[in-house]
Chain A
Amino acid sequence: MFEGITAGLATAMAWQNLIYVIIGCFAGTFIGMLPGLGPMSAIALMIPVTYGFDPASGMILLAGVYYGAIFGGSTSSILINAPGVAGTVATSFDGYPLARKGQAGKALALAAYASFSGGTIAAIFLLLAAPMLAQVSLSFQSPDYFALMVLGLTAVAAFAGKGNVLKAIMMAILGLMLSTIGTDQSSGIQRFTFGKMDLIDGIDFLLLAMATFALAEALMSVFRPDKGGPSSDQLSNMGSLKLSKQEVKEVAPTVARSSILGFFTGVLPGAGATIASFLAYGMERNLASAKEKLGFGKGSLKGLAGPETANNAACTGSFVPLLTLGIPGSGTTAILLGALISYGVQPGPRLFVEQPEVFWSVIISMYLGNLVLLILNLPLIPYIAKLLNMPKQILTPLVLFFSLTGVYLISFNTFDIQMMVLFAVAALVLKLMSFPMAPMILGFILGGMMEDNLRRSLMISDGSLSFLWERPITLAIISIAVVVLLVPAIQAFRKKPEAVEATA
């Protein structure tokens, strides 16, 4: 294990990888700041840049983009109350009021420190937890993997929020359906290609991710423009970036609590940064004294530090299932998994054994990414924020253009561009009906692996579904999946009568 760590350290510290972390963080911060574009779009937009890199460098850059995008989202939440990312919505509750009071600088600094601490503490947890989990998962067999993927998909659906569970399940199924297009890997039979040569290799994951995230999100901002952009006044008048000792003391316990909460929420399949940040906000408000409670929503430092810490810790936590099991727990990690696969790396327990330098260098550069955000990004925020003043009529066509060419320059097939337009239209329509996109991309990425493991399981058990309960691990995972799925349903039924009473 220590050899792996030293190899990873050497890789992560190589000068070009250090530069990639920095580039990734900056690019991520910038893209994440643009209202409407979240980390998934940011990562998708940056993937074409990383083709041709070795896997470790590619992942290092993308991990930087991920952190940068979350931080960029926090920045726009605080400055202009327009969270670019769902994970930073909770940040705007107290961050924006602080900015309104002329303490934007303090809010940003606190966000950066909180993110840094959350990321650091979670990186230590990751360092300890990932190898252990990788060891355990070496004993996993096909039925267990199949069960885990079912759990991943149901969990994403279950956490989609009230009223959206069915929609999320539908989107996950849609993703699985899309993944069956192309040549069946095991039999060589073409499925759903309708005789089209362009579909024989199936749909490229980057194409789908780019069309349903970057394109759809950019078009959405045209379809329903936000009211009023940032005023240059807000961007230039940030106030001091310093925190007093008293304030640091005040938020320290919050940061500690939220890191732990965030990390474990991130590890859970389906949860992730958004839920972690809301949970942390809720926790802090519940723990606060009656007097402090009044401050929440009006610029409470604790209310800002909690979600900021938790969302970064959750980002780190979400790498645990990705790296150890090869199963992404969220839309963002699904896109990262797609990138890894296209580099020719198959994440999972064997990654830890066979390519420890990839495994460890990603973990170590996550830590470096946090450091870069704190040391380089924070002081530069006022300048990066100026870029938000770039007119939208220039920015949007550029985003569209880079999405299209990012995909085109890999395949040199103009059919891909038309397919992207088609997917963008579909995604836009689905978005308008508030169908979530993340379960779709997760289903799409997991589709191939799920079919593989299902086939092996069914072959072993000779066509009987008994593989689902024969092994205790499989049974346990499947049971959790069922519970996760049923809880929101039961809650919905329970709530109905109360709601009726309330209106009566």
Chain B
Amino acid sequence: MKNTMNATRVGALLFLILALVYGYNAYQIPLQPWSMDEPFTSRTLPIFLSVIGSIVALLMLILPDNDAQSPAECFSGPGWKVTIALLVLMSLFGVALKPLGFLVSTTLFLLGGYWLLGERRIKVLFLASVPVAVGLWFLLSRILGIYLAPGELFI
């Protein structure tokens, strides 16, 4: 077996850890005193899932898997930097929504997204973001009557 630690095994190992942590937490689920002897409690399914999950993960670790790629092959992609940047941008969007409000954070998110993916024309950057944000804001708050809280910074 030349590639002992292929991508599938990495996944299986991660999953085994997850199943065990999940199982440990399943034993921590509080039970009502009267339900202790019942055949089915809030713990039953989680514990069962943890056991089955561990077995499947172990099977996957043990059984030979010749098709799998190495982790390096598996996780390489030309766009990994941009992908991570987009994920960070999405998270920032979530952070910004409350203080900046819907309009500003949407505009900034779209601007940032276009820019990260290589759009550099100023005209396109703004034409594809500001009208979308304003239009959507108008549709939601004026036509559909959904209350969008204004940014806390502006109050």
Contact among B8, B26, B57, B87 for A421, CB-based, below 8 A: B87
CB neighbours of B110 from chain A (8 A): 397-398, 401
Q: Which residues of B contact A (CB under 8 A)?
A: 7-8, 10-12, 15, 18-19, 22, 25-26, 29-32, 35, 38-42, 44-46, 49, 52-53, 56-57, 59-60, 63, 65, 67, 74-75, 77-80, 82-83, 86-87, 90-91, 93-95, 97-98, 106, 109-110, 112-114, 116-119, 124, 128, 132, 136, 140, 146, 149
A417 close to B91 (CB less than 8 A): yes
Q: Contacts A186-B42, A397-B117, A464-B39 known; list 17 others, CB within 8 Å.
A: A166-B59, A170-B15, A170-B57, A177-B19, A187-B42, A189-B32, A189-B42, A222-B82, A223-B77, A223-B80, A421-B90, A421-B91, A430-B11, A451-B45, A455-B40, A459-B40, A463-B39
A454 close to B40 (CB less than 8 A): yes
**Which chain B residue lies CB-closest to A173?**
B53
A201 to chain B, nearest CB (A): 16
B117 close to A189 (CB less than 8 A): no
29 sample A-B contacts, Cβ–Cβ < 8 Å, listed by A number: A163-B65, A166-B56, A170-B15, A170-B56, A174-B15, A177-B22, A180-B46, A180-B49, A186-B42, A189-B42, A192-B25, A192-B46, A219-B83, A222-B83, A392-B117, A394-B114, A396-B117, A397-B110, A398-B113, A401-B109, A414-B95, A417-B97, A421-B90, A428-B83, A434-B7, A454-B44, A455-B44, A462-B39, A463-B38
A 85-97 to B, binary, CB cutoff 8 A, 1 in contact else 0? 0000000000000
CB neighbours of B44 from chain A (8 A): 454-455, 458
CB neighbours of B53 from chain A (8 A): 170, 173-174, 177
B11 close to A435 (CB less than 8 A): yes
CB-CB nearest 6 A-B residue pairs: A397-B113, A463-B39, A417-B94, A393-B117, A223-B77, A184-B42
A433 close to B79 (CB less than 8 A): no
A11 to chain B, nearest CB (A): 24
Q: Tell me the interface secondary structure of chain A in the complex.
A: helix
A379 to chain B, nearest CB (A): 28
A173 close to B56 (CB less than 8 A): yes
CB neighbours of B52 from chain A (8 A): 173
In the complex, A153→B119 CA distance in Å?
43
In the complex, A451→B49 CA distance in Å?
11
A433 close to B10 (CB less than 8 A): yes
A 71-102 to B, binary, CB cutoff 8 A, 1 in contact else 0? 00000000000000000000000000000000
Residue A472 is within 8 A (CB to CB) of chain B in the complex: no
Residue A408 is within 8 A (CB to CB) of chain B in the complex: yes
Given contacts A219-B83, A223-B83, contact A454 B45 (CB under 8 A): yes
A88 to chain B, nearest CB (A): 24
Residue A253 is within 8 A (CB to CB) of chain B in the complex: no
In the complex, A187→B29 CA distance in Å?
12
A501 to chain B, nearest CB (A): 15
A 374-428 contacts with B by CB, 8 A: 391-394, 396-398, 400-401, 404-405, 408-409, 412, 414-418, 420-421, 424-425, 428
**Which chain A residue lies CB-closest to B63?**
A166
Given contacts A401-B109, A417-B97, contact A393 B79 (CB under 8 A): no
Contact among A180, A187, A394, A458 for B39, CB-based, below 8 A: A458
CB neighbours of B119 from chain A (8 A): 391, 393-394
CB neighbours of A424 from chain B (8 A): 87, 90
A 428-452 to B, binary, CB cutoff 8 A, 1 in contact else 0? 1110111100000000000000110
Given contacts A414-B94, A421-B91, contact A177 B46 (CB under 8 A): yes
Q: Which residues of A contact B (CB under 8 A)?
A: 163, 166-167, 169-170, 173-174, 176-177, 180, 184, 186-187, 189, 191-192, 215, 219, 222-225, 391-394, 396-398, 400-401, 404-405, 408-409, 412, 414-418, 420-421, 424-425, 428-430, 432-435, 450-451, 454-455, 458-459, 462-464
Given contacts A418-B94, A421-B90, contact A398 B132 (CB under 8 A): yes
Given contacts A397-B110, A462-B39, contact A414 B98 (CB under 8 A): yes
**Which chain B residue lies CB-closest to A412?**
B149
CB neighbours of A170 from chain B (8 A): 11-12, 15, 53, 56-57, 60
A187 close to B49 (CB less than 8 A): no
**Which chain B residue lies CB-closest to A415?**
B94
In the complex, A463→B40 CA distance in Å?
7
In the complex, A418→B92 CA distance in Å?
9
B133 to chain A, nearest CB (A): 9
**Which chain B residue lies CB-closest to A429?**
B75
B83 close to A400 (CB less than 8 A): no
**Which chain B residue lies CB-closest to A183?**
B42
In the complex, A192→B18 CA distance in Å?
13
CB neighbours of A391 from chain B (8 A): 119
In the complex, A92→B46 CA distance in Å?
43
In the complex, A224→B12 CA distance in Å?
24
